[in-house]
Amino acid sequence: MIDYPRDAPTYVAGHAGLVGSAIVRRLEAEGFSNLLLPGFEQLDLRDQTAVNDWFRAHRPRLVFLVAGTVGGIWANATRPAEFIYDNLMIHATVVHAAHLYPVEKLLYLGSSCVYPRECPQPIKEGCLLTGPLEPTNEAYAIAKIAGIKLCQAYRRQYGCKFISAMPTNLYGPGDNFDLESSHVVPALIRKFHDARTAGRSEVVIWGTGRARREFLHVDDLADACLFLMRHYDEELHINLGTGEDLTIHELASLIRSVVYPGAELVFDASRPDGTPRKQLDVTRLHALGWRHHYSLRAGIEDCYRWFATHQDIARRLGRNAHAT
Ligand SMILES: NC(=O)c1ccc[n+]([C@@H]2O[C@H](COP(=O)([O-])OP(=O)(O)OC[C@H]3O[C@@H](n4cnc5c(N)ncnc54)[C@H](OP(=O)(O)O)[C@@H]3O)[C@@H](O)[C@H]2O)c1
């Protein structure tokens, strides 16, 4: 284990996002005092020259690479060019600059979308590149796979300590609640909340409800990211999740019980389900000694509390609309 000094210059790329803000909260809680947090206006991570200049000037020692163009099924289906271009560029510029202006360690966050659609479940790390991807998010997945391969290539050729982790679906305070671009948990919280406020009994849910998914609270994810910075240094990426999944129907029922118990669930089967099942095998993570803390109910209650008290912000958080 490496315990980095609390004054180590630490760069969180994507610090304003769901994941980045959770990592910042966690670093601050642990007393990290030298956080480097340039906003998009100061540093567009798709611009290699700007990224190089910034690394040369600020010399981060630790890097959490969690910036990206991210979204749910609808956003992926309608904006594939942005998803592939932005993410390829962001991963490449930061990884390259972290090599040119050597950082001590870089953690790159991929996604469980990198795995083939028909992977045996639960999904082991070795399943990567063994079959066709889910078509609805192929562009995003290709960029995320390229991120893994970048870290591996720079590690092999230059000996860089770059590691990759593949988290399952995330949710929590600071999430994107915009129905056009959000993931399933914030989208359902918002739909149930809006239906309750408007006095509507029906809540329409995309898909058949039969797809199975796994969810990790973003504060658990942040805890895991710091844990991996300290305890993990291998070329192979590592899965990050709870190891527990449920159907979208079960998830919707759980969110209903937290937000609007009187609501009636209506499934719109004309909308895509996405991959039928996506549960990560977290054997390697557990073997290192890491476990999640939030139950799904406690996590959803926490997320709903945040939404209910930050609605003005939450409704504006339709992120990733950066013009190219
Ligand atoms: N959310 C999930 O369920 C999930 C699941 C698995 C993996 N991940 C991975 O976790 C990472 C973060 O996801 P997230 O949910 O935290 O996304 P997010 O909330 O949309 O945050 C992404 C962050 O990246 C920044 N960003 C985007 N393009 C940028 C650019 N060109 N230059 C500089 N900054 C830029 C955004 O800046 P602005 O604030 O200015 O827009 C934002 O702060 C991504 O790599 C994603 O693949 C997320």
Nearest-CA residue for atom 19 of ligand 1: 17
Ligand 1: nearest atom to the Cα of 109: 45
The reply to whether ligand 1 has any atom less than 6 angstroms from the CB of 17 is: yes
Q: For residue 299, is pLDDT > 80?
A: yes
Percent of the chain scored above 90 by pLDDT?
A: 85
Quote the pLDDT of residue 273. Answer: 86
Q: What is the mean pLDDT of residues 33-51?
A: 97
Ligand 1: nearest atom to the Cα of 170: 3
Secondary structure class of 13 (helix, strand, coil) = strand
Number of neighbours of residue 9 by Cβ within 10 angstroms: 16
The reply to whether ligand 1 has any atom less than 6 angstroms from the CB of 239 is: no
Q: For residue 321, is pLDDT > 80?
A: no
H-type alpha helices, 13-118: 18-29, 48-58, 73-78, 80-100
Q: For residue 135, is pLDDT > 60?
A: yes
Q: What is the mean pLDDT of residues 266-274?
A: 91
- Write down the catalytic residue from 11, 140, 260, 294: 140
Instruction: Please tell me the distance between residue 65's alpha carbon and the centre of ligand 1 in angstroms.
Output: 9
SS3 content of the chain, % helix, strand, coil (to 5): 45, 15, 40
Structure tokens at 151: 């870290």
CB 114 within 8 A of CB 168: no
Q: For residue 316, is pLDDT > 80?
A: no
Whether the upstream peptide bond of residue 122 has omega within 30° of 0, thus cis, is: yes
Instruction: Please tell me the distance between residue 151's alpha carbon and the centre of ligand 1 in angstroms.
Output: 18
- Split at pLDDT 50, 70, 90, the class of 320 is very low
Residue to probe by mutation, ligand 1, list 40, 221, 282, most atoms within 8 Å of CB = 40
Mean pLDDT of all residues belonging to the chain: 94
Nearest to 19 by CA among 148, 107, 91: 107
Instruction: Please tell me the distance between residue 315's alpha carbon and the centre of ligand 1 in angstroms.
Output: 17
- Split at pLDDT 50, 70, 90, the class of 260 is very high
The reply to whether ligand 1 has any atom less than 6 angstroms from the CB of 172 is: no
CA dihedral 306, 308, 309, 310 (to 10 degrees): 80
The reply to whether ligand 1 has any atom less than 6 angstroms from the CB of 203 is: no
Quote the pLDDT of residue 317. Answer: 54
The reply to whether ligand 1 has any atom less than 6 angstroms from the CB of 242 is: no
Quote the pLDDT of residue 2. Answer: 86
Distance separating alpha carbons of residues 96 and 170, to the nearest angstrom? 27
- Split at pLDDT 50, 70, 90, the class of 324 is very low
- Split at pLDDT 50, 70, 90, the class of 253 is very high
Instruction: Please tell me the distance between residue 180's alpha carbon and the centre of ligand 1 in angstroms.
Output: 16
The reply to whether ligand 1 has any atom less than 6 angstroms from the CB of 230 is: no
Structure confidence by residue, pLDDT tens digits, 160-207: 999 999 999 999 999 989 887 788 999 999 999 999 999 999 999 999
CB 171 within 8 A of CB 224: no
Residue to probe by mutation, ligand 1, list 11, 12, 18, 106, most atoms within 8 Å of CB = 18
123-132, 176-185, 248-257: range with lowest mean pLDDT: 176-185
Quote the pLDDT of residue 315. Answer: 56
The reply to whether ligand 1 has any atom less than 6 angstroms from the CB of 65 is: no
Instruction: Please tell me the distance between residue 192's alpha carbon and the centre of ligand 1 in angstroms.
Output: 25
The reply to whether ligand 1 has any atom less than 6 angstroms from the CB of 68 is: yes
- The DSSP output letter for 313 is H
Nearest-CA residue for atom 24 of ligand 1: 67
Whether 260 is catalytic is no
Structure confidence by residue, pLDDT tens digits, 139-164: 999 999 999 999 999 999 999 999 99
Distance separating alpha carbons of residues 24 and 12, to the nearest angstrom? 7
Q: How far is CA 64 from CA 60, 228, 274, in A?
A: 10, 11, 29
Quote the pLDDT of residue 314. Answer: 67
Instruction: Please tell me the distance between residue 198's alpha carbon and the centre of ligand 1 in angstroms.
Output: 31
Nearest-CA residue for atom 27 of ligand 1: 68
Record the pTM. 0.94
Structure tokens at 157: 């050729």
Structure tokens at 198: 């408007």
Quote the pLDDT of residue 182. Answer: 82
Structure confidence by residue, pLDDT tens digits, 213-246: 999 999 999 999 999 999 999 999 999 999 999 9
